[in-house]
Amino acid sequence: MARNYRGYEGIRLCLMALLCCLLAVACNDLSRKEGGNANGPQEAADVIRLDKLSPIPSKKQMDSGPPLRVAVAAILSPEGTVESYSPLLRYLEAVTGRPVKLIQKKTYGEVNEMVVSSQVDLAFICTGAYFKETDRQKMKLLVTPQINGKDTYRAVVIVPASSSVQEFSQLRDKVFAFTDPMSNTGYLYPMTILDGLGERADVFFKRTFFTYSHDRAIEAVANGLADGASVDEIVYTHAIQKRPELVKRLKVIHTSQEFGMPPVVVPAETDPSVFKAFQDIFLHMHENQDGKKVLTAIGVERFLEPNPLNYKSAPNG
C-alpha cells in the first residue's frame, strides 16, 4: 500500500513539474510577443487577454430602441404581403437601428383602428381606408409611392377571358368578388358604378363575397369562383407579370379614373420630429444603392410627399 502511495505521489509531482514548465514557456512567449518586437508592443492574434475582455451585451443593450411597429393592410394576401414587404422592412430595421414588427390584420378597418389608437408607428393602407378616416382626422399622410411616373392609380374590372361580358352592366345576375368594405378599387368604386346605374349590389348581382385581398380576388375570377371583380390596377399588372398565363385567363372590361396611390400613414399624434424622421427615410430611399434595391423589389420608383388633392374624397363621396 505504501509502495502504491509513493508511486502516485511521484506521478503527481511529475505532472506538477510539467505544468510549471508549460506555464513558464507560455509566459516567456507572451513576453516576447508583447515586448520583444523592435517596433514596439504587438498583441498576438491568438492570445486571449483576460484583462481586456468586454462583457457580452444583453439583448436589451443590443436593441437601440423599442420595436418599430409597421402595419400593412391586406391589399395582398398575408403570404403575398410578407413576400412583397420583407425587403422594405429589413431596410427600415437597418436605417432606424430598431427591430421591425410586422402587423397584419384581415380587414382594412382593423388596421385603421390600430393607427388611430397609436398601436402602430406607421402603416401602409388602402386609399379607400384613408378616405374613411378623413373626418376623424386621426391619421396623417406620410408619403405616397410613385409608380410609372405617377402618384395615382386606377381600378380595373376583370372577368374570365372566356366570358361574353364586355361591360359592367352585363354583370347583372353574375357572381361578383369584392375585396374589402373599405377598399377604394375593390369595393367603393364598383359600388359607385352601381349607383350610376341606379342599382343595389344585393339586387343587381346573383351573389357577392369578400376576398379581403386583391390577389385573392384575381384568383377567384381566374379560377371561375367569381364572374367578375374590381381590383387595384397595380396589383393586377404585377400579377400578370409574375404569372403570364393569367393573360389567357382574364380580361379587363372597365378602367376607372385616377385615384391617389395607397399611402403610408402615421397616427395623428405622432411627434413632429418623429414624423419628419420617418418621412426623410422614405423620401431619400432612391438616393442610395440599398434603397434603390428595395424600391425595385417592391415595384416603386420612389416615395413622394403626398398631394392632399388626391385624397380629397372617396369615389362616391
CATH of residue 280: 3.40.190.10
Identify the H or E element spanning 239: helix 233-242
Please indicate, yes or no, if residue 268 is contained in any of the structural domains: yes
What local confidence, expressed as pLDDT, does residue 77 receive?
A: 53
Q: Are 218 and 235 in contact (CB under 8 A)?
A: yes
| Mean pLDDT of the region 286-310 | 92
Residue 188 CA to residue 197 CA, distance in Å, equals: 14
Residue 167: domain span:
155-256
| 32 within domain boundaries | no
Together in a domain, 271 and 189: no
Are residues 165 and 293 part of one domain? Answer: no
Cell of 83: 413576400
Residue 156 corresponds to which cell in the numbers above? Answer: 380595373
Residue 60 lies in a domain: no
- Indicate the number of domains in the chain: 2
Residue 50 lies inside a defined structural domain of this protein: no
Report pLDDT digits (tens) over 224-254.
999 999 999 999 998 999 899 999 999 999 9
More confident residue, 62 or 202: 202
Q: Are residue 142 and residue 161 in the same domain, yes or no?
A: no
The mean pLDDT value for 266-290 works out to 96
Domain assignment present for 58: no
- Average pLDDT of the residues in 255-259: 95
pLDDT the model gives residue 143: 97
> Of residues 199 and 136, which shows the higher confidence score?
199
Residue-level pLDDT at 65: 74
Per residue in 85-115, pLDDT (tens digit) is 889 999 999 999 999 999 988 888 999 999 9
Residues 135 and 267 placed together within one structural domain of the fold: yes
Residue 14: exposure state from Cβ atoms within 10 A (0-12, 13-18, ≥19): exposed
Whether 46 shows a pLDDT value over 60: the answer reads no
Please, what is the average pLDDT of the chain?
Answer: 82
The span from the CA of 60 to the CA of 99, in Å, is 12
Examine the domain organization and report whether 168 and 88 are in the same domain: no
pLDDT at 39: 42
298 band by pLDDT with thresholds 50, 70 and 90:
confident
CA 238 to chain centre: 17
* Mean pLDDT of the 296-309 span: 92
- Do residue 240 and residue 273 come from a single domain? no
On whether both 279 and 234 belong to a single domain, the answer is: no
Reported as a pLDDT band with limits 50, 70 and 90, residue 136 is confident
Q: 32 pLDDT exceeds 80?
A: no
Across the chain, how many H-helices and E-strands are there?
Answer: 11, 13
pLDDT value, residue 135: 72
- Report yes or no on 49 lying in a domain: no
Share of the chain above pLDDT 70, in %: 75
Let me know if residue 77 belongs to a domain. yes
Tell me: pLDDT of 281 over 80: yes
At 222 the pLDDT is: 97
Q: Is 158 helix (H, G, I), strand (E, B) or coil?
A: strand
User: What is the distance between the alpha carbons of residues 229 and 156, in angstroms, rounded to a whole number?
Assistant: 8
Higher pLDDT, 15 or 289: 289
Specify whether 268 is located in the same domain as 294: yes
User: Does residue 115 sit in the same domain as residue 162?
Assistant: no
Domain boundary among 234, 256, 278: 256
Q: Is 243 in the same domain as 266? A: no
Q: Is the pLDDT assigned to residue 25 strictly greater than 80?
A: no
What residues form DSSP beta bridges with 147?
150
Whether residue 313 is predicted with pLDDT greater than 80 in this model: the reply is no
Decide if 118 contacts 271 (C-beta within 8 A): no
Nine-digit cell string for 304: 413622394
State the pLDDT confidence band at 311, using cuts at 50, 70 and 90.
Answer: confident
Asked if 74 and 180 count as a contact pair (C-beta separation under 8 A), the reply is: yes
Assess if residue 33 is contained within a domain: no
State whether 135 and 268 are in the same domain.
yes
| Average pLDDT rounded to a whole number, residues 124-131 | 89
Residue 181 φ/ψ, nearest 5 degrees: -60, -20
Q: Which of 256, 278, 299 is the last residue of a domain?
A: 256
pTM of the model: 0.72
Share of the chain above pLDDT 90, in %: 61
